[in-house]
Amino acid sequence: MNSITAQSGFAHLDDLPCYVLSCGQAKAVISSYGAHLLSYQPKAGTEVIYLSPEAEWRNNSPIRGGVPLCWPWFGPAAAELNPEQQKLPNHGVVRTELWQMVQKSIADNSVSIEFRITTNGLAYQDAPAALSLTLVLTETDLSLTLNSDQAVQQAALHSYFRVDSVHQAVVCDLTGLYLDKVQAGKEFNQSTEDLRFSHEVDRIYLDTSDQLTLKDGKASIQISQQGHDASVLWNPGAEKAAALKDLPDLGYLDFVCVETARLDLNNTKPLHLVQHIRYLGQLE
Protein backbone atom coordinates (compact mmCIF):
# COMPACT_ATOMS: atom_id res chain seq x y z
CA MET A 1 0.00 0.00 0.00
CA ASN A 2 1.41 3.41 -0.97
CA SER A 3 1.92 5.79 1.93
CA ILE A 4 3.70 8.80 3.44
CA THR A 5 4.32 8.80 7.18
CA ALA A 6 6.13 11.15 9.54
CA GLN A 7 9.00 9.69 11.57
CA SER A 8 11.33 11.00 14.26
CA GLY A 9 14.91 9.96 13.61
CA PHE A 10 16.57 7.79 10.98
CA ALA A 11 19.48 5.37 11.38
CA HIS A 12 21.72 6.90 14.08
CA LEU A 13 20.36 10.45 13.58
CA ASP A 14 18.14 10.67 16.65
CA ASP A 15 15.14 13.02 16.62
CA LEU A 16 15.73 14.07 13.02
CA PRO A 17 12.35 15.06 11.53
CA CYS A 18 11.71 12.71 8.60
CA TYR A 19 9.08 11.42 6.22
CA VAL A 20 8.99 7.85 4.91
CA LEU A 21 7.54 7.39 1.42
CA SER A 22 6.47 3.95 0.19
CA CYS A 23 5.35 2.99 -3.31
CA GLY A 24 4.99 -0.73 -3.90
CA GLN A 25 8.30 -2.24 -2.82
CA ALA A 26 10.15 1.08 -3.18
CA LYS A 27 10.87 3.25 -0.16
CA ALA A 28 12.51 6.64 0.41
CA VAL A 29 13.30 8.65 3.54
CA ILE A 30 13.64 12.43 3.43
CA SER A 31 14.15 14.93 6.24
CA SER A 32 12.71 18.42 6.50
CA TYR A 33 16.16 19.41 7.81
CA GLY A 34 17.75 20.62 4.59
CA ALA A 35 15.02 18.85 2.54
CA HIS A 36 17.65 16.13 2.60
CA LEU A 37 17.11 12.70 1.03
CA LEU A 38 18.61 10.06 3.35
CA SER A 39 17.65 6.75 1.77
CA TYR A 40 16.26 5.25 -1.42
CA GLN A 41 15.52 1.55 -1.66
CA PRO A 42 13.98 0.52 -5.00
CA LYS A 43 13.26 -2.83 -3.35
CA ALA A 44 13.66 -4.21 0.14
CA GLY A 45 17.30 -4.65 1.13
CA THR A 46 18.72 -2.70 -1.84
CA GLU A 47 20.04 0.71 -0.75
CA VAL A 48 21.07 3.13 -3.48
CA ILE A 49 22.06 6.12 -1.31
CA TYR A 50 25.09 6.36 0.99
CA LEU A 51 24.70 7.91 4.45
CA SER A 52 27.80 8.22 6.60
CA PRO A 53 27.49 6.32 9.90
CA GLU A 54 29.25 9.29 11.49
CA ALA A 55 27.00 11.96 9.97
CA GLU A 56 25.66 14.61 12.34
CA TRP A 57 22.81 17.08 12.15
CA ARG A 58 22.74 18.95 15.44
CA ASN A 59 24.54 22.24 16.10
CA ASN A 60 23.92 23.47 12.57
CA SER A 61 25.89 20.60 11.02
CA PRO A 62 25.23 19.58 7.40
CA ILE A 63 24.51 15.86 7.01
CA ARG A 64 27.31 13.86 5.37
CA GLY A 65 25.78 11.61 2.71
CA GLY A 66 22.31 11.35 1.21
CA VAL A 67 21.51 14.17 -1.19
CA PRO A 68 22.47 17.58 0.26
CA LEU A 69 21.05 20.64 -1.52
CA CYS A 70 23.69 23.21 -2.45
CA TRP A 71 22.30 26.74 -2.94
CA PRO A 72 22.86 29.60 -3.78
CA TRP A 73 26.52 28.79 -4.35
CA PHE A 74 28.55 25.65 -4.87
CA GLY A 75 31.73 25.19 -2.86
CA PRO A 76 33.06 28.55 -1.56
CA ALA A 77 30.83 31.51 -2.41
CA ALA A 78 31.90 33.12 -5.69
CA ALA A 79 32.95 36.79 -5.55
CA GLU A 80 29.81 37.78 -7.51
CA LEU A 81 27.67 36.28 -4.74
CA ASN A 82 29.79 37.56 -1.88
CA PRO A 83 30.99 41.08 -2.78
CA GLU A 84 31.64 41.98 0.86
CA GLN A 85 33.82 38.86 1.28
CA GLN A 86 31.91 37.65 4.29
CA LYS A 87 32.76 34.34 5.92
CA LEU A 88 30.09 32.09 4.43
CA PRO A 89 29.59 28.31 4.62
CA ASN A 90 30.56 26.06 1.73
CA HIS A 91 27.71 25.00 -0.55
CA GLY A 92 25.29 27.71 0.55
CA VAL A 93 22.84 28.26 3.37
CA VAL A 94 19.89 25.87 3.03
CA ARG A 95 21.48 22.54 4.02
CA THR A 96 21.15 23.30 7.73
CA GLU A 97 17.71 24.94 7.74
CA LEU A 98 14.34 23.37 8.49
CA TRP A 99 12.13 23.42 5.39
CA GLN A 100 8.36 23.41 5.56
CA MET A 101 6.47 20.43 4.20
CA VAL A 102 3.74 22.05 2.09
CA GLN A 103 2.23 19.27 0.02
CA LYS A 104 2.05 15.50 -0.23
CA SER A 105 0.24 13.24 -2.64
CA ILE A 106 -0.50 9.52 -2.74
CA ALA A 107 -1.64 8.03 -6.04
CA ASP A 108 -1.92 4.50 -7.43
CA ASN A 109 1.42 4.68 -9.23
CA SER A 110 3.41 7.27 -7.26
CA VAL A 111 3.82 9.22 -4.05
CA SER A 112 5.26 12.72 -3.79
CA ILE A 113 6.17 15.32 -1.20
CA GLU A 114 7.13 18.98 -1.51
CA PHE A 115 9.17 21.19 0.82
CA ARG A 116 9.63 24.94 0.66
CA ILE A 117 11.81 27.55 2.30
CA THR A 118 12.13 31.33 2.09
CA THR A 119 15.50 32.88 2.84
CA ASN A 120 16.29 36.45 3.79
CA GLY A 121 19.36 38.64 4.05
CA LEU A 122 21.77 36.78 1.80
CA ALA A 123 24.95 38.63 0.91
CA TYR A 124 24.10 39.35 -2.72
CA GLN A 125 20.37 40.10 -2.61
CA ASP A 126 17.87 42.25 -0.76
CA ALA A 127 14.66 40.41 -1.60
CA PRO A 128 13.76 37.02 -0.07
CA ALA A 129 14.31 33.94 -2.21
CA ALA A 130 11.79 31.12 -2.38
CA LEU A 131 12.93 27.55 -3.03
CA SER A 132 11.08 24.28 -3.35
CA LEU A 133 12.20 20.66 -3.42
CA THR A 134 9.86 18.00 -4.74
CA LEU A 135 10.47 14.27 -4.40
CA VAL A 136 8.47 11.83 -6.53
CA LEU A 137 8.74 8.09 -5.86
CA THR A 138 7.39 5.35 -8.12
CA GLU A 139 7.91 1.59 -8.09
CA THR A 140 10.75 1.97 -10.61
CA ASP A 141 12.47 5.30 -9.91
CA LEU A 142 12.89 8.43 -7.82
CA SER A 143 13.20 12.06 -8.89
CA LEU A 144 14.27 15.23 -7.09
CA THR A 145 13.37 18.66 -8.47
CA LEU A 146 14.83 21.88 -7.04
CA ASN A 147 13.13 25.13 -8.10
CA SER A 148 13.85 28.76 -7.24
CA ASP A 149 12.44 32.13 -8.26
CA GLN A 150 15.96 33.60 -8.33
CA ALA A 151 18.16 33.69 -11.44
CA VAL A 152 21.70 34.63 -10.35
CA GLN A 153 22.70 31.60 -8.35
CA GLN A 154 24.45 28.25 -8.31
CA ALA A 155 22.88 24.98 -7.22
CA ALA A 156 23.58 21.27 -7.03
CA LEU A 157 21.90 18.03 -6.05
CA HIS A 158 24.97 16.61 -4.28
CA SER A 159 24.03 12.91 -4.47
CA TYR A 160 26.05 10.25 -2.65
CA PHE A 161 25.54 6.86 -4.31
CA ARG A 162 26.40 3.69 -2.42
CA VAL A 163 28.83 1.38 -4.23
CA ASP A 164 30.19 -2.05 -3.38
CA SER A 165 33.73 -0.69 -3.79
CA VAL A 166 34.87 2.66 -5.16
CA HIS A 167 37.73 0.88 -6.95
CA GLN A 168 35.20 -1.10 -8.99
CA ALA A 169 32.94 1.89 -9.69
CA VAL A 170 32.74 3.48 -13.12
CA VAL A 171 30.62 6.37 -14.39
CA CYS A 172 29.81 6.00 -18.08
CA ASP A 173 28.92 8.55 -20.77
CA LEU A 174 31.31 11.26 -19.55
CA THR A 175 33.32 13.01 -22.26
CA GLY A 176 34.65 16.45 -23.08
CA LEU A 177 35.99 19.26 -20.95
CA TYR A 178 36.29 19.13 -17.20
CA LEU A 179 37.88 21.25 -14.48
CA ASP A 180 40.08 19.21 -12.16
CA LYS A 181 39.91 20.70 -8.66
CA VAL A 182 42.56 18.24 -7.45
CA GLN A 183 44.92 20.02 -9.89
CA ALA A 184 43.99 23.60 -8.98
CA GLY A 185 41.03 23.77 -11.36
CA LYS A 186 43.03 23.14 -14.53
CA GLU A 187 41.03 22.30 -17.63
CA PHE A 188 41.37 18.89 -19.28
CA ASN A 189 39.65 17.00 -22.05
CA GLN A 190 38.50 13.45 -21.41
CA SER A 191 38.65 11.30 -24.52
CA THR A 192 37.22 8.09 -23.07
CA GLU A 193 33.60 7.88 -21.91
CA ASP A 194 34.30 6.15 -18.57
CA LEU A 195 35.59 7.57 -15.30
CA ARG A 196 37.13 5.26 -12.72
CA PHE A 197 38.11 6.08 -9.14
CA SER A 198 41.63 4.87 -8.40
CA HIS A 199 42.47 7.98 -6.34
CA GLU A 200 40.89 11.25 -5.17
CA VAL A 201 38.49 12.63 -7.78
CA ASP A 202 37.03 16.15 -7.76
CA ARG A 203 35.95 17.15 -11.25
CA ILE A 204 33.44 19.53 -12.77
CA TYR A 205 32.36 18.20 -16.16
CA LEU A 206 31.01 20.92 -18.43
CA ASP A 207 28.03 20.43 -20.75
CA THR A 208 27.44 16.84 -19.70
CA SER A 209 24.79 14.65 -21.24
CA ASP A 210 21.27 14.27 -19.92
CA GLN A 211 21.95 10.71 -18.84
CA LEU A 212 24.83 9.05 -16.98
CA THR A 213 25.25 5.48 -15.77
CA LEU A 214 26.98 4.38 -12.57
CA LYS A 215 28.22 0.80 -12.36
CA ASP A 216 29.96 -0.66 -9.33
CA GLY A 217 30.84 -4.15 -10.49
CA LYS A 218 27.59 -5.66 -9.20
CA ALA A 219 24.77 -3.26 -10.06
CA SER A 220 23.91 -0.37 -12.36
CA ILE A 221 22.13 2.94 -11.74
CA GLN A 222 20.85 5.35 -14.38
CA ILE A 223 21.09 9.06 -13.47
CA SER A 224 19.09 11.42 -15.70
CA GLN A 225 19.48 15.22 -15.46
CA GLN A 226 17.60 18.34 -16.49
CA GLY A 227 18.26 22.06 -16.08
CA HIS A 228 21.97 21.47 -15.49
CA ASP A 229 25.09 22.87 -17.12
CA ALA A 230 27.58 20.62 -15.32
CA SER A 231 28.02 17.34 -13.50
CA VAL A 232 30.33 17.10 -10.51
CA LEU A 233 32.12 13.81 -9.79
CA TRP A 234 33.65 13.46 -6.35
CA ASN A 235 35.31 10.99 -4.04
CA PRO A 236 37.75 12.25 -1.38
CA GLY A 237 40.18 9.35 -1.54
CA ALA A 238 41.96 7.89 1.47
CA GLU A 239 43.90 10.94 2.71
CA LYS A 240 41.07 13.47 2.66
CA ALA A 241 38.54 10.94 4.00
CA ALA A 242 40.74 10.44 7.07
CA ALA A 243 40.59 14.20 7.72
CA LEU A 244 36.79 14.39 7.64
CA LYS A 245 35.37 14.03 11.14
CA ASP A 246 31.93 12.91 9.93
CA LEU A 247 33.21 10.13 7.65
CA PRO A 248 34.91 6.87 8.68
CA ASP A 249 38.52 6.63 7.54
CA LEU A 250 37.55 3.92 5.05
CA GLY A 251 34.18 5.46 4.25
CA TYR A 252 35.43 6.72 0.89
CA LEU A 253 35.38 3.12 -0.34
CA ASP A 254 31.59 2.99 -0.06
CA PHE A 255 30.34 5.87 -2.22
CA VAL A 256 30.69 7.95 -5.34
CA CYS A 257 29.14 11.41 -5.69
CA VAL A 258 27.45 12.08 -9.04
CA GLU A 259 26.06 15.59 -8.72
CA THR A 260 23.64 17.40 -11.00
CA ALA A 261 24.67 21.07 -10.99
CA ARG A 262 23.98 24.51 -12.38
CA LEU A 263 27.09 26.63 -11.97
CA ASP A 264 27.02 29.34 -14.69
CA LEU A 265 26.33 32.68 -12.98
CA ASN A 266 25.46 34.21 -16.36
CA ASN A 267 22.41 32.00 -16.63
CA THR A 268 19.42 34.29 -15.99
CA LYS A 269 16.67 31.68 -16.14
CA PRO A 270 14.90 30.69 -12.91
CA LEU A 271 16.33 27.53 -11.41
CA HIS A 272 14.77 24.19 -12.38
CA LEU A 273 17.20 21.40 -11.54
CA VAL A 274 16.18 17.75 -11.79
CA GLN A 275 17.89 14.47 -10.97
CA HIS A 276 16.10 11.25 -11.84
CA ILE A 277 17.43 7.98 -10.37
CA ARG A 278 16.59 4.53 -11.71
CA TYR A 279 18.04 1.31 -10.35
CA LEU A 280 18.74 -0.96 -13.31
CA GLY A 281 19.49 -4.03 -11.24
CA GLN A 282 22.30 -6.51 -10.99
CA LEU A 283 24.86 -6.71 -13.77
CA GLU A 284 25.04 -9.93 -15.74
**pLDDT-based confidence at residue 268 (cuts at 50, 70, 90):** confident
| Greatest alpha-carbon span in the chain | 55
For residues 175-190, average pLDDT: 93
pLDDT at 122: 52
pLDDT at 180: 96
Active site residues: 158, 259
pLDDT at 84: 77
> Global pTM?
0.95
CB atoms within 10 A of CB 191: 7
For residues 218-236, average pLDDT: 96
pLDDT at 79: 79
CATH of region 3-282, choose from 3.90.1150.10, 3.40.50.1970, 2.70.98.10, 1.10.10.10: 2.70.98.10
For residues 121-146, average pLDDT: 83
∠ CA 236-64-251 to the nearest 5 degrees? 45
Q: pLDDT, tens digit, for every residue of 192-217?
A: 889 999 999 999 999 888 999 999 98
For residues 255-264, average pLDDT: 97
pLDDT at 123: 47
> Does the pLDDT at position 137 exceed 50?
yes
Highest mean pLDDT pick, 85-89, 152-156, 188-192, 248-252? 248-252
Query: What's the chain's average pLDDT?
Result: 93
> Does the pLDDT at position 43 exceed 90?
yes
Measure Cα distances from 259 to 26, 118, 217 in Å.
Answer: 22, 24, 20
